[in-house]
Amino acid sequence: MEDITPADSVVPVYLVPLTEEELAEREQWAIEAAEREAAEEAKVAAKETAKETAKAKLAALGLTEEEVLALLG
Amino acid sequence: MAIDFPSNPTNGQVYANYIYDSSITAWRNVNTDTGIGTLNAMGLKNVVPSSVVVASGSATVNGNGLVTFSGATSIALDGIFSSTYTNYKIVINANVATGENWIELRLRSGGSTITSANYAYTIRRGESGGTISTDNSGQVNALTAVSGPNAGGNTHTFDINNPFLLTFTNWFGQSESVLSAGTFNMATFGGMYKAATSANGIIINPQGSNLNGTIQCFGYTN
């Protein structure tokens, strides 16, 4: 381990270099994390779209905006 | 490395695990000096690790034991659990520059990470969209895997009991994460290391982007 203790640290700080295998594993994790994030964003967007569609359909049935909001919150 | 006490202290001033006593013009160790009854009766005390190990990035530790790290793929605090305290509180604040992340936590002993499949945990998670979910781990090789931070940051606060004793270790805590999609989740988690093992440290392993943030450990006065 390499001692990389900064001047303002009260205890030693050591650096362990990552192996090639660990680096590859972390790259894969980063890809998976990006996919999770994209999936989450898509889920939120789909929910918003469905909410707007529902509002439009309810309005077409004759509900006032207040009544629609009371239903959907 | 010597502790860099503040200059011109006032009576009762606290620094790291010391309190300044103007009657003897000296700093007194609240853990070992006698006659500091009120302070010794207090519940939580700072714990300064004996060393910190990072994989990539950097870290620094101040006199109160606050570890500040950046660009780290893992952060290990060694020498935080000892016979001085039985139970501890750990507070983590973290964020990453891009993407989302998950965090795994594991115990350490003698400078090595304990990866035996003796950890078991349950996480009850609520998301801002209304989804409630529960994860039960079975016996795995990590203390917990909690929904991690992104640019919005997150926080984990948990108590860990008996890590240094040769008995099972238990933990219980809460976390909060802000996701870049504009949602957030809050989780309650708890679990157990189901083997009589003495640990003296802990390691954070973010799964993904490098991590920036702080971690601090406190001991509950016995």
The partner residues of B173 in beta bridges, in order of sequence, read B158, B189
Q: B136-159: per-residue pLDDT in tens? A: 776 666 666 555 555 556 788 999
Q: A51-64: per-residue pLDDT in tens? A: 889 989 999 999 99
* Mean pLDDT of chain B, nearest integer: 84
Q: At what angle do helices A20-60 and A65-72 cross, to 10 degrees?
A: 140
Q: ipTM of the assembly?
A: 0.76
Let me know: does B51 contact B121? Beta carbons within 8 Å: no
B48 with A43: Cβ contact below 8 A: no
C-alpha B204/C-alpha B209 separation (Å) is 13
The region that residue B182 occupies, defined by phi over 0 for left and psi between -120 and 50 for alpha, beta otherwise, is: left
Q: Where is pLDDT greater, at B217 or B125?
A: B217
Question: Average pLDDT of B180-200?
Answer: 84
Residue A62 host element (H or E): none
DSSP structure string for B44-62: EEEE--SEEEEESSEEEE-
- For residue B15, the distance in angstroms to the closest alpha carbon of chain A comes to 13
A44 with B129: Cβ contact below 8 A: yes
The pLDDT, as a whole number, for residue B150 is: 56
The pLDDT, as a whole number, for residue B124 is: 86
Cα nearest neighbour of B57 on chain A = A15
Q: B33-65: per-residue pLDDT in tens? A: 776 655 555 678 899 999 999 998 999 999 999
Let me know: does B150 contact B178? Beta carbons within 8 Å: yes
- For residue A13, the distance in angstroms to the closest alpha carbon of chain B comes to 5
Let me know: does B16 contact B64? Beta carbons within 8 Å: yes
C-alpha B12/C-alpha B29 separation (Å) is 12
